[in-house]
A and B are shown apart, each in its own frame.
Chain A
Amino acid sequence: MGEKMNIIESDLTEISDRVVRGEIKAEEVVSQYLAHTQKINPQLNAFVAMNDKALEQAQALDKKRNAGKKLGRLAGVPVGIKDMLCTKGLRTTAGSKILQNFIPPYSATVVERLESADAITLGKTNQDEFAMGSSSETSALGQSMNPWDLTRVPGGSSGGSAAAVAARLVPLSIGTDTGGSIRQPASFCGVVGVKPTYGRVSRYGIVAFASSLDQAGPFGLSVRDCARSLEIISGKDMNDMTTSNLPVPEWEKNLNSDLKGMRVGLPKEFFSDAVSAETRKAVDKAIEIVRAKGGITVDIELPLTKYGVSVYYLVCTCEASSNLARYDGVRFGYRSDFSKGLPADIDEFYSRNRGEGFGTEVKRRIILGTYALSSGYYEAYYKKAGQVRRLLRDDYIKAFQKCDVIMGPVTTSPAFKIGERINNPLEMYLNDIFTVTASLAGLPCMSVPAGFTSNKLPIGVHIIGPHFEEQKMLNVAHAIEGEVNIRKEVPNVIR
């Protein structure tokens, strides 16, 4: 029959093309990834639930191919889905005790589109509770670990998704990014991670955290992999009125690492003394590559950058306090045990369910957001943040008159130790200084691996594009990955 082809560590585009050509069966692909995941996941806690129908779905796909039917562009590709996205019949927790037994009766549009492209959900990946965090330490399902150093965080909130791809448990995973939750874990775990323009990807069926910021996006081992999967999940959805009517471009086909004429803006605010020396070195190397490939660097200013964290943590907590009001224990989700005493009134009923079901960080943010929206404080906090948000977006629009993309570090330093920042919320929030303003402005942005520290921790570089111009940012990332060539590096945990 021929040798068993080792598929782990392949790009998803290669896997899919091989499955379509009949060189490998989808069942074989899924079996290999399942076996590898079984072996490695206990050390990472990247996956928190497995799809026990994965093998069966792969077999059905092989039957479909044998019957001569056309297969999709993600044929046989196993995918990790962040537990923030509803998967019909498969437990979805958003990392929270309040949804610990929730089985969605429907799937998110993103999940349906992946399935229509013949991808196979391997399982659900771990995350900070309700996507509130930068370390995957607030999950009710336990901490996730960074595959490059098990004593360090994989980042957050999509830490499980990033770790799963870095450890080759799956070639593709889906995360969500509200203030950096795809880009930061991508950087910490040495994989590519993309947040599309707000409105590119439907939020239908994605547990809502901050509705004006949330976007789902892919993690992959290559820019091509992310480009293809982003095409599959993007596009107008009548179930999400904030999705754009714009057609989805052929990002994969138009990938081009020739950057002649590409103007790359470097905001001085992104290159402060706060950035660690090794991070700076990796980002500078990426900038050199961009110049070598024909790009021109331009100095720009984003003067309101330093207010980004304040604006972000006001906007997102206010929106979250509203979105999380639905978790009341009435129709679904956690309900306290009232067998030993009925609640005095409906408020006590709600308050006990929510008080027992939500974790600390979530509660902290609900309190903050409720306060900032409350009578007497709304103007100074929520409204003011909204006004500054417009000015932040204006800064970017002005900058994009002088450049085609913007580059900088993703974070000031690489993956920190587990437990190092969790007790100081403000310090944790300041992690997000470079990622939040692009989210507030609704811009497409991504992280692409640029190098390692001396102790083998990955460092990514942040690339931001103008609204709906993902191709520019993908091309710059593609140029960088081609020269940095760290695709062959793998974390020790998988050997």
Chain B
Amino acid sequence: MDVAKVAQLARLNLTAEEQAKFQAQLKNILISFEEISKINTEGVEPLVTPVDVELVYRKDEDRVTLSVEEALQNAPERAGNLFRVPPVV
């Protein structure tokens, strides 16, 4: 695994120290996880949700969830009713 490449995929800055540490640790962890390749899983459908779930629909009706003020109250920066970010495009 190239930790730097994966960190970029995850949009995650790592310090040089973290990168080196993870490179070593994750190598060992992945080697350990490789044991599952020995298990015969031919024709086995992966299990995602561990109990059966029925899809339920609600009525397609307008409803109030959060007010604009509530939705903005944790904004690191705001401008009126907008979330403000540094220029990034």
Contact = CB atoms under 8 A, between A and B. Distances in A.
Interface of A: 101-103, 105-106, 197-199, 212-213, 238, 241-242, 244-245, 304, 306-307, 310-311, 313-314, 321, 325, 328-335, 338, 342-343, 345-347, 349-352, 354-356, 358, 360, 363-364, 366-368, 370-371, 374, 380-381, 383-391, 393, 425-426, 429, 440-442, 467-468
A367 B86 contact: no
Most buried by A among B8, B9, B35: B9
A310 B33 contact: yes
A468 B49 CA distance: 15
B37 A355 contact: no
Given A367-B26, A384-B37, A426-B29, A390 B12 contact: no
B69 to A, nearest CB: 9
A355 B13 contact: yes
Given A358-B12, A387-B44, A342 B50 contact: no
A442 B51 contact: yes
B63 to A, nearest CB: 11
Given A102-B74, A331-B75, A366-B12, A198 B50 contact: yes
Contacts of B55: 241
Most buried by B among A321, A333, A364: A364
Contacts of B86: 338, 342-343, 349
Contacts of A314: 33, 36
B51 A199 contact: yes
B26 to A, nearest CB: 6
A113 B32 CA distance: 42
Contacts of B25: 364, 425-426
Contacts of A346: 88-89
Contacts of B58: 238
Contacts of B77: 335
A370 B56 contact: no
Contacts of A238: 56, 58
Size bin of chain B's contact surface = 35 or more
Most buried by A among B3, B53, B87, B88: B88
Prevailing SS type, chain B contact patch? loop
Contacts of A333: 74, 76
B41 interface: yes
B71 interface: yes
Given A335-B76, A350-B11, A380-B37, A371 B6 contact: yes
Given A366-B12, A370-B9, A393 B50 contact: yes
Given A105-B74, A331-B74, 7 more contacts: A198-B49, A199-B51, A330-B85, A345-B88, A354-B11, A367-B10, A387-B47
B54 interface: yes
Contacts of B88: 343, 345-346, 349
Contacts of A334: 76
B45 A364 contact: no
Contacts of B46: 383, 385-387, 389-390
